[in-house]
Amino acid sequence: MPRPLRIWYPGAMYHIVARGNRRAAIFHDQADFQMYLAILEDVRSMMPFILHSYCLMTNHLHLQLETLHHHIQYIMKELHSRYAVYLNQRLKTDGHVFQGRYGARLIETDAYFLEVSRYIHRNPLEAKMVLNLEDYRWSSFSSYVNLLQLNPHVDHSKTLSYFREPVEEQYKLFVEKNLHMIGEGPLCVPELPVLD
């Protein structure tokens, strides 16, 4: 029985999750992380999309990706088949690099858009890989809380449009403190905890 087709339309946004086959590492060292991002940029030059956030972990990855004119299946097939060829050649192995089909949850509300951004950026903290999220190099988080630190892979504009000035500090609070948002739209602010 064929797999159901992914829901797609121009402008569709997704939370993409992909894991290593049998939970094996898909990134072994700095060169692998860099190559994945280089391939991502090459694929984007052929099939433009917007990347709102990402986190590359040792054995899995998260992308918050907005399509423009190309179906998500073509973007991800090109990206992951090219990375799999690279990794198999580098490790002198063959076979599947990724575990089955990547996950792609459609993002259709502002609240879920923000929740996905927070979830993606909290991954290294939840995995106890870092104490400070800004220290994790293979995530877009540090470029969100320090806009002078350029990250050519992500577009911050939509995400930060939900926060009041200073947007970097408000976003950092939202992610690190696991706060909830009040309202929707450009004047959203993190809901601060009530102090006794």
Percentage, residues of the chain above pLDDT 70: 88
Rounded Cα gap, residues 7 and 91, in angstroms: 35
Confidence band (pLDDT; 50, 70, 90) for 178?
A: low
User: Buried b vs exposed e over 143-176: b needs ≥16 C-beta within 10 Å?
Assistant: bbbeeeeebeebbbebbbebbeeebbebbbbbbb
pLDDT tops 90 at residue 148? no
Give me the pLDDT at residue 147, please. Answer: 81
